[in-house]
Amino acid sequence: MKAVYETEHLLLKPSHDSYADMVADYCIRNRFFLEEWEPVREEKFYTSEYQKKLLCNDMENNDSFRLWIFKKGNEERIIGCIGFTNIMRGAFLSCFLGYKLDGQEINQGYMTEALKAGTEIMFRDFGLHRIEANIMPKNIRSLRVAEKAGFYNEGLSRKYLNINGKWEDHIHMVLLNEPLTPQ
């Protein structure tokens, strides 16, 4: 695994506990912007100490892989994150995907660029066959990003995840490690 993955405009860096202050800063900056799309968070979530624990867990956990997104030329400020979780081996070779971007950086193509690179890493370096993202129907921007990255809609999962204190429906988006064929 590389220490840094580079795209045209971005640097993608796997979790490291030295990022705790930057991650906490990112979470604080985006607390209200992301609140609508995430589980309810305790106050400690927004501290460097808590983020350091989460980053250490990321580094020790063999069934997840998280990439922190930086703009080239500014490696002191995280602008987003892509998390590949519940990585399953064996006959399944699959994982779940979550991603988020700084509210000040939306609509510039950064998340699409990062997501395309991140999914390629998972297919090439981790040997996965399938990546699954579950997205709330009202999150139009996120659905658009997934579609631009090649994901397709496999259907609706009713009351799938508890987001911001409420059970929400999610559209099940999938990307396979193979060329799409017309249906």
Pick the CATH number of 5-128 from 3.40.630.30, 3.40.50.300, 1.25.40.10, 1.10.10.10: 3.40.630.30
- Residue-wise pLDDT for 13-23, tens only, equals 999 999 999 99
Q: Is the pLDDT of residue 2 over 90?
A: no
Determine the 3-state secondary structure of 14 from DSSP: strand
Cα 41 to Cα 28, 37, 44, 180: the distances in Å are 11, 11, 8, 38
Q: How many residues does the chain have?
A: 183
* 164 vs 105, residue with greater confidence: 105
- Residue-wise pLDDT for 25-59, tens only, equals 999 999 999 998 999 999 999 999 999 999 998 88
- Residue-wise pLDDT for 91-150, tens only, equals 999 999 999 999 999 999 999 999 999 999 999 999 999 999 999 999 999 999 999 999
CA dihedral 91, 14, 124, 10 (to 10 degrees): 140
Rounded distance between C-alpha atoms, residue 34 and residue 38, angstroms: 6
Q: Which of 57-61, 75-79, 133-137, 154-158 has the lowest mean pLDDT?
A: 57-61
- Supply the Cα-derived Rg of the chain in whole angstroms: 16
